[in-house]
Chains A and B, each alone.
Chain A
Amino acid sequence: MEFKTVVFYALSAVLIFASLRVITARNPVVAALHLILAFFSAGGIWALLQAEFLAISIVLVYVGAVMVLFLFVVMMLDINLDRIREGFWSYLPLGAIVGIVMVAELGAVLGANYVGVLEADAPQTPAGTSNTKALGRLIYTDFVYPFELASVILLVAIIAAIAITYRGPKKTKYTDPAKQIRVQAKDRVRVLQMPAEKQD
Chain B
Amino acid sequence: MDTLLQYFSGMFGSAWPLVWSLAKIVAIVAPLMLGVAYLTFWERKVIGWMQVRIGPNRVGPWGLIQPIADGVKLLLKEIVIPTKSSTWIFLMAPGLAIAPALACWAVIPFNDTLVLANIDASLLYVMAIASIGVYGIILSGWASNSKYAFLGGMRAAAQMISYEIAMGFALVTVLMVSNGLNLADIVRAQDKGMFAEHGLGFLSWNWLPLLPMFVVYLISGVAETNRAPFDVAEGESEIVGFHAEYSGMAFALFFLAEYANMILIAALTSIMFLGGWLSPVGFLPDSIIWLFGKMAFILLLFLWFRATFPRYRYDQLMRLGWKVFIPVCLVWLTVVGVWMMSPWNIWK
B70 an interface residue at 8 Å Cβ cutoff? no
Flag if B135 contacts A68 (CB, 8 Å). Answer: yes
- A side interface size, CB within 8 A: 24
Interface centre among B119, B131, B150, B154 (most CB of A within 10 A): B131
Report if A57 contacts B (CB, 8 A).
yes
Residue of B nearest to A67 (CB): B135
A53-B124, A71-B138 known; A63 vs B181 contact (CB < 8 Å): no
Q: Which residues between 18 and 62 of chain A lie within 8 Å of chain B, taking CB atoms?
A: 27, 29-30, 33, 36, 52-53, 56-57, 59-60
Cα distance, A130 to B180, chains bound together (Å): 9
Contacts of A72 in B (CB 8 A): 138, 154, 157
B90 touches A (CB below 8 Å):
no
Considering the complex, give the chain B residue whose CB is closest to the CB of A129: B120
A52 surroundings in chain B (CB, below 8 A)? 119-121
Q: Chain A contacts of B181 at CB under 8 A?
A: 130, 132
Whether B157 contacts A75 by the Cβ 8 Å rule is no
How long is the Cα–Cα vector from A27 to B128 in the complex, in angstroms?
27
Give the bracket for the number of chain B residues in contact with chain A: 20 to 34
A64 at the interface (CB under 8 A from B): yes
Q: Say if the beta carbon of B161 comes within 8 Å of chain A.
A: yes
In the bound complex, residues from chain B placing their C-beta under 8 Å from that of A56 are 121, 124-125, 128
Say yes or no: is B342 at the interface (Cβ < 8 Å to chain A): no
Q: Is B127 an interface residue (CB 8 A)?
A: yes
Please report the number of residue pairs spanning A and B whose Cβ atoms sit closer than 8 angstroms: 65
Which chain B residues in 187-201 approach chain A with CB under 8 Å? none
Asked whether, in the complex, the Cβ of A60 is within 8 Å of the Cβ of B127, the reply is yes
Check if A177 is an interface residue, CB within 8 A of chain B: yes
User: Does residue B19 face the partner (Cβ distance < 8 Å to A)?
Assistant: no
A-B contact sample (20 more), CB < 8 A, given A56-B125, A63-B131: A29-B142, A36-B135, A52-B119, A56-B121, A56-B124, A57-B124, A57-B128, A59-B132, A60-B124, A65-B164, A68-B134, A71-B142, A72-B138, A72-B154, A72-B157, A75-B138, A130-B121, A132-B120, A132-B121, A132-B124
Interface residues of A (CB under 8 A from B): 27, 29-30, 33, 36, 52-53, 56-57, 59-60, 63-65, 68-69, 71-72, 75-76, 130, 132-133, 177
Residues of B within 8 A of A (CB): 86, 89, 119-121, 124-125, 127-129, 131-132, 134-135, 138-139, 142, 150, 154, 157, 161, 164, 180-181, 316, 319
**Closest 8 CB pairs between A and B?**
A64-B131, A60-B128, A59-B128, A56-B124, A130-B120, A56-B128, A132-B121, A75-B142
